[in-house]
Amino acid sequence: MPQGLQSSDYLVFVLYFILIASYGFWIYNKKKSTSINTNDFFLAEGQLTWWAIGASLIASNISAEQFIGMSGNGFRLGLAISAYEWLAAISLVIVGVFFMPVYLKNKIYTMPQFLKTRYNETVAMIMAIFWLFLYIFVNLTSILYLGSIAINNLTGGANFHLIMIGLAVFALFITLGGMKVIGYTDVIQVLVLTIGGLITSYIALTVVGEKFGFGKNAIAGLNHLVKVAPDHFKMIFEKPGIGSTQKQIDDYSSLPGLAMMAAGMWVANLNYWGCNQYITQRALGADLKTARSGIFFAAILKLFMPLLVVIPGIAAYVLYQNGSLQTEMMTAGVVNQDNAYSSVIGFLPTGLKGLSMAALTAAIVASLAGKANSISTIYSLDIYKKYINKNASDIKTVSTGRIMIIVSLIIAIIINWNDTLGIGGKGGFEFIQKYTGYISPAIFPVFLLGFFWKKTTSKAAISGIGFGVVMAILFDKFLPSMLGNETILYTALSNGHGSFEIPYLIQMGWVFLFTTILIVIISLIDVKGQTHENALIEDNSKYKLSNTHIAMITVVLVVVASLYIRFW
């Protein structure tokens, strides 16, 4: 059975902390200029190589949300949850080919700046406020909570609140150095989380092999997972019908088969990777060739992420069904899927547990640092500099950004102190996806039409944002009781607690469609607005790709297609 951490595990973790801290301090002093520059601090303009951009994208994305939340969904749903990772790889390709040239050609540094450039100040201000609330109260808060829970479980219930404060301080140390420190320390973070994640997956599979009489054989363990849990190796769930179990209904609600492919999954991924300050910020300071190389490199790395975060969850499921991990998977007397990853880590030998804890911490801290930096960037450049102190110097703006980093982390700690948002009761990964889904179907049409349709107006964009958020709430909270559980638009499914819900990925698809239609209609009516809209700088050559980039894209598309064919 899994055992707790030993002194050597803590030693490995402390060495990791010293390594990251020392490297970050060295980078900060090496790159530090004689004067503070906002573009250097917030964007590391021109200072990140393609491999640093790619690594930083992955390090910022792969966090407690994946290691804890997605492993938990691997325990419950199986390989199907990998759709978020593999379709994200294709989404990164789309972003690199079509979105990034628009940003860089127009010298865009923040997402609100794009909205101001394409539309007007009002649209930019509305979305800056939206993003700040979303990043602080959903993303930053949930990452800190899930990470603290995981490490608390791994250390045998040491002290949740102390761990949470420690993670926040660790992230703060890195974030205050600016994006250049984040970007280059993320390279080490990716190496650590990849090595630690692979070791954890390997050990989990060897444990499965041993438990079922195959010896310490990871391949045999993987084959046994496929054999004894075939339902956990299906990518597409069928729509439940009469006689379906509650588990089948719950699985479909989380990943509604082919229906989610129509729009919902793509809205979630393209909005996250292409219209998200937290992510795009890594590439906005580079030239187009470097940015694209980094983004396509990240897409290739994305293909391997399920091996790190989903397979351990499936292994935990099979071991739990076999009678192992009965205690480790429990929280307050019930099975908690978010305990899956930390439970599997318990099987690692002494010393390697410390490495896996370092990998988990690397993922958490990298995401916290990246998210805090994005909060700081949006507040400092799009709110403080424009509305509070228009004449602020670079030194004052950067200082304000650093204060905002501290404030946002303190807010996250306060919210998480007693789990005010109920993150622990919803399953971490779905909590983030669902509540981000209130905003993304309203935002994404504004960006998409702003990119590619010149007639889109500011009035239409503002109307679309408000309409989309209202529609998202309507679909999630009210439509089943108003229109019934079965309509031409949706099927509301039982949540097992006496009420019915529309799968949130289907909600997102419909909200995106209706919002897009509304924006198009208002833009066509608003003829006067069309004559005053801001146009983006265009370049007919911006979509041309090098042979290297074409090869990288081909690898991504072929691998994703092959995986879906194999596990359909």
CATH number of residue 82's parent domain: 1.20.1730.10
Asked if 424 and 488 sit in the same domain, the reply is no
Find where tokens 């239609």 sit: 517
Query: Alpha carbon of 99 to those of 128, 269, 292: distances in Å?
Result: 19, 13, 10
Q: Residue ranges of the alpha helices (H) in 257-351?
A: 259-262, 264-274, 277-280, 288-302, 305-309, 311-321, 340-345
Say what the pLDDT of residue 454 is.
86
With H, G, I as helix, E, B as strand and everything else as coil, classify residue 238. coil
Query: Hey, which residues does 500 pair with through a beta bridge?
Result: 494
Asked if 516 and 459 sit in the same domain, the reply is yes
Does residue 153 lie within any of the structural domains?
yes
Does residue 182 lie within any of the structural domains?
yes
Asked if 312 and 337 sit in the same domain, the reply is yes
Does residue 156 lie within any of the structural domains?
yes
Asked if 76 and 192 sit in the same domain, the reply is yes
The domain boundary, picked from 401, 429, 457, lies at: 429
Find where tokens 């107006």 sit: 457
Does residue 207 lie within any of the structural domains?
yes
Does residue 208 lie within any of the structural domains?
yes
Tens of pLDDT along 496-529?
Answer: 778 888 998 899 999 999 999 999 999 999 877 6
Q: In whole angstroms, what is the distance from residue 43 CA to residue 107 CA?
A: 12
Tens of pLDDT along 524-545?
Answer: 998 776 655 666 777 666 778 9
Report the run of H or E that residue 416 belongs to, with start and end: helix 394-416
CA 172 to chain centre: 20
Asked if 532 and 416 sit in the same domain, the reply is no
- Report pTM: 0.83
Asked if 239 and 311 sit in the same domain, the reply is yes
Q: In whole angstroms, what is the distance from residue 309 CA to residue 313 CA?
A: 7
CB 59 within 8 A of CB 193: yes
Does residue 133 lie within any of the structural domains?
yes
The domain boundary, picked from 429, 457, 473, lies at: 429
Asked if 344 and 489 sit in the same domain, the reply is no
| Low-confidence residues of the chain: pLDDT under 50 | 1, 34-35, 44-45
Does residue 15 lie within any of the structural domains?
no
Asked if 89 and 131 sit in the same domain, the reply is yes
Residue 526 has, within 13 A of its CA and on its CB side, a CA count of 21
Say what the pLDDT of residue 127 is.
84
Say what the pLDDT of residue 407 is.
92
Say what the pLDDT of residue 110 is.
77
Asked if 497 and 420 sit in the same domain, the reply is no
Say what the pLDDT of residue 210 is.
86
Task: Name the residue range of residue 515's domain.
Answer: 437-537
Say what the pLDDT of residue 299 is.
95
For 323-350, give one letter per residue: b (16+ CB within 10 A) or e: ebbeebbeeeeeebbbbbbbbbbbbbee
Asked if 423 and 443 sit in the same domain, the reply is no
Report the run of H or E that residue 153 belongs to, with start and end: helix 141-154
User: CA nearest 372: which of 100, 181, 127?
Assistant: 181
Number of domains in the chain: 2
Asked if 354 and 479 sit in the same domain, the reply is no
Q: In whole angstroms, what is the distance from residue 7 CA to residue 127 CA?
A: 48
Asked if 190 and 232 sit in the same domain, the reply is yes
Please report, as a single letter, which amino acid is at residue 457. Answer: T
Find where tokens 């200082």 sit: 399
Phi, psi (degrees; rounded to nearest 5) at 335: -70, 130
Say what the pLDDT of residue 34 is.
46
The domain boundary, picked from 429, 451, 472, lies at: 429
Does residue 20 lie within any of the structural domains?
no
